[in-house]
Amino acid sequence: MSDNMKRRDFLKGAATGVGVGLLGAMGLYSYSPLRKQHFTQVERKGADIGMCKSVKVTNISETSWFDNGNLMGDIKGAGGLLVNQYDYNWPPFGNGKGLGKGSYEEGIAQIKHLLPGRLDEAWEIIKANSVHPENAGGYAALVEVEEMSGQKHKFLLDVGWSYKWCEECFKREGIDKMLENKEIEALFFSHEHFDHFWGLPVALKYDPEITIYIPEGFYPEGLQYIKDCGHKGKLITIQPGLNKVMPGMASYVFAIPIICRVYGEQSLYFNVADKGLVSVTGCCHQGIIRFAETAYTEIKYENDKCYGIYGGLHISPFEDWDPKYDDLVITLGDYGFERIGCNHCTGVLCAKKFIAAGYPVVEGTARFRSKDKAYLGNGDVITFG
């Protein structure tokens, strides 16, 4: 055999061998227990956010929309879950052109002159021009934090969607007066979605100077809407990551894509004395487990314990189900939460599965159009600490 032939044979063998060796290693090693030695241990940053005495959350409204069929019908009819939320022709941005043919500019032009003070007149125009105005509700919560000294602070988390519904809920819970009296220090927006954000003029009607915190990722329309609603206070954009607010309270911005062309979500962490970590969310698009795991790696909290959670936990907002949601139901028990208050996008079925699994779900009263006692519904209150 010539040298050339030998070389060629060696190359043929080597080319074949590389594939065999590579695929063999891939198959035998990649999912073996040995792979775990390649993972770095999670480095706990343990950021100190201080401590508070207690947190109380009043549910102003969790019924962001009243009928899943209507909402999903609109979304489907307008082109699906990726359509820009300002294009659906939902209230308040109705331009009279029908589903999926809306635009921020045309919608706001109809009502801008009435914001934020003349909301009844604005709503009459909106009703005439929008798709399913009666289906709009909204998500909003009042968060009261008590310092270790006993001093109390009030914050608003989100402001709902429908001007009409939102105003009714604000009055029912006395939020209008609190805003007028400047008792509420700031408004946190969890994210830019219609049902959390578009009711803004209702809050500004009573306090146009309120400080607003938004997560990074708002679109130009959203930023313009804040101006067009008549906001005169400070607008603070929070970058992804941890943001300390006051002793025992921090917000965390997760840079994640969400349906209807929304990006980024801000949720709240509290370190409650003697109890542990309390998490309050608008929708929790980042997922509860990631929310808890992020706290584990990022911040220091009492007893190293996840104590409570409140809010929309974003599992089956449209009452759909998927086996992967069962992964969450099965796993949540490992995190040891002692008080779970859920509503809005958690899904009633999910809340019932939590209860069936024996988790400490704080049940509600199903008043003011909330549908089920498995939820903490409209007007219900939960306290931590």
Partner 1 sequence: MERFGEGYLEERKLVKRWSGPIPALVSLVFTLAIFYLTWWIFQDPRGLMRMYTPYVGYMYCRWWLIMMIWMVYIFNYWPFKRKWLETTHPLVKGSILTLISVVILVALIKGFFEGLLGNYGLAYFNPEQLEKLPGVTSFFAIEYASLAILMFAAIASWLSPAWVVAFEEAPWQKLTQPAKGFSILIMTFFLSTVVYFVTMHPHMGILYHPWQYFTSIAPPYWEQFADTVSGNFHISWIMCCTVVVWLVETIWERYPFNLIKNDWGRRFACFFGIIAIAVAMHFFLYFAQELTWGEAIRGTRRAFAPDWRWLHVGEMAIFFLVPALFIAFYCNNWPRKFSMPVNVMIRTILTIVGAIALYILYYKTSHNFLGTQKGFSHPQQFPMIPMIWLVNIWLVHHWFMDNWPGWKMVPKTAEEIEADHTAHQAQIDDIRWTPRFGAGLGAGVAMGVMFYFITLWALPYVYASVNIIPGK
- Residue 77 vs 96, nearer CB to partner 1: 77
State how far Cα 319 lies from the chain centre: 17
Which residues on adjacent β-strands are paired with residue 311? 281, 342
Query: Nearest distance from residue 173's CB to partner 1, in Å?
Result: 29
Whichever of 166 and 292 has its CB closer to partner 1, that residue is 292
Are residues 148 and 49 in contact, defined by beta-carbon separation less than 8 angstroms? no
Distance of CA 163 to the CA centre of its chain: 20
Residues 372, 344: Cα–Cα separation, whole Å:
11
Site residues for partner 1, 76-135, by CB under 8 A, read 76, 79-83
Segment 273 to 302, residues that bind partner 1, using CB under 8 A: 285-290, 293
* Eight-state DSSP code of residue 161: S
Contact 385, 376 (CB under 8 A): no
Using rule CB under 8 A, residue 263 touches partner 1: yes
CB nearer to partner 1: give 144 or 338.
Answer: 338
Element (H, E) at 214: strand 211-215
Nearer of residues 8 and 182 to partner 1, judged by Cβ: 8
Strand order in the sheet with 235-238: 235-238, 211-215, 184-188, 152-157, 140-146, 54-61, 381-384
- CA 251 distance to own-chain centroid: 12
Q: Which of residues 297-326 bind partner 1 (CB under 8 A)?
A: 314, 318-324, 326
Comparing CB distances to partner 1, the nearer of 220 and 322 is: 322
Residue from 259, 273, 362, 366 touching partner 1 (CB under 8 A): that is 259
The 3-state DSSP class for residue 242 equals strand
CA atoms in the 13 A half-sphere facing the CB of 296: 13
Query: Considering the complex, what minimum distance in angstroms separates the CB of residue 82 from partner 1?
Result: 4
- What is the pattern of x (binds partner 1, CB under 8 A) and - over residues 11-40? xxxxxxxxxxxxxxxxx-xxx---xx-xx-
Report the nearest approach of partner 1 to the CB of residue 91 (Å): 21
Q: How far is the CB of 142 from partner 1 (least distance, A)?
A: 27
Query: For residues 359 and 332, is the Cβ–Cβ distance under 8 A?
Result: yes
With respect to partner 1, which residue has the nearer C-beta, 149 or 322? 322
Distance CA 280, CA 58 (A): 11
76: which DSSP letter? H
Task: Select the residue interacting with partner 1 from 47, 125, 223, 328 (CB under 8 A).
Answer: 328
Which of 274, 327, 357, 367: binder of partner 1 (CB under 8 A)?
A: 327
Residue 24 C-beta: closest distance to partner 1, Å: 7
Burial of 181 (0-12, 13-18, 19+ CB in 10 A): exposed
Q: Which is nearer to partner 1, 75 or 169 (CB)?
A: 75
User: Is the Cβ of residue 209 or residue 326 nearer to partner 1 in the bound state?
Assistant: 326
CA 276 to chain centre: 21
Q: Which is nearer to partner 1, 66 or 321 (CB)?
A: 321
CB of 239: closest distance to partner 1 in angstroms? 12
Count of Cβ atoms closer than 10 Å to residue 101 Cβ: 14
Do 129 and 94 form a contact (C-beta atoms < 8 A)?
yes
At its nearest, how many Å lie between partner 1 and the CB of residue 10? 4
Query: Which of the residues 54 through 83 are near partner 1 (CB under 8 A)?
Result: 68-69, 72-73, 75-76, 79-83
Chain positions 206 to 225 lying near partner 1, rule: CB under 8 A, are 217
Site size with partner 1, rule: CB under 8 A = 73
155's CB contacts (< 8 A; 6+ apart) are 142, 143, 144, 145, 184, 185, 186, 187, 188
Q: How far is the CB of 316 from partner 1 (least distance, A)?
A: 9
Q: Which residues ranging from 348 to 367 are in contact with partner 1 (CB under 8 A)?
A: 349, 353
